[in-house]
Amino acid sequence: MAARIASCILLAVIIANPSRVVKVPGTKDFKLVTLIDASRSMLTKDDSGFSRLSKIATIVNDKDIHDNLQNFAKTETYLFADGCVPTTLPFAVQPLPGDTNFGGAMTHVLRQDELGVPVGAVLLLSDGRSNAGPSPQDVAKRFAHAGVPITTVLAA
């Protein structure tokens, strides 16, 4: 009897022919948000005399990199410390007042998602020092639940 039931279930699954269709999003169906830490700790200089923020600016402001990101998706760039400020590229190397606030910046990005094109990915550039504000882990869990990957690049 159990074999007959199992055979009927298997036959029903074969006849139903279940499939999963995954739509590949176009480059304008989502946005890539870049969060750049502009807190005081990013003014720390390395042995060659360059600050962490100026190193990030050199890379992010590079025209080829900027064009490649634009071809990948719609992009938005924010500088953050205690607050989160939208910026355009190339951005000026100006620190913002306050400490690093990952959680606040990521929460800002989630709120912006409700207003327009959905966030497809976040690129977070920071030194990870002097963290203040909401727990970055708690906010990252909300991103994970929404299926939005966060890529973090640390500047040391």
What's the Cα-to-Cα distance from 107 to each of 1, 120, 138, rounded to whole Å?
Answer: 56, 15, 10
Q: Using 50, 70 and 90 to split pLDDT, how confident is the model at 114?
A: low
Q: Quote the CA–CA distance of 60 and 56 in Å, as a whole number.
A: 6
For residue range 51-75, what is the model confidence (pLDDT) as tens digits? 888 888 888 888 888 777 777 778 8
Enter the DSSP assignment of 43: G
Buried b (16+ CB within 10 A) or exposed e, 80-101: bbeebbebebebebebbebbbb
Q: Using 50, 70 and 90 to split pLDDT, how confident is the model at 112?
A: low
Q: According to the model, what pLDDT value does residue 130 have?
A: 61
Q: Quote the CA–CA distance of 70 and 58 in Å, as a whole number.
A: 17
- CB contact set of 39 (below 8 Å; sequence gap of 6+): 80, 81, 82, 95, 96, 98, 99, 100, 101, 129, 130
Q: How many other C-beta atoms can be found within 10 angstroms of the C-beta atom of residue 66?
A: 15
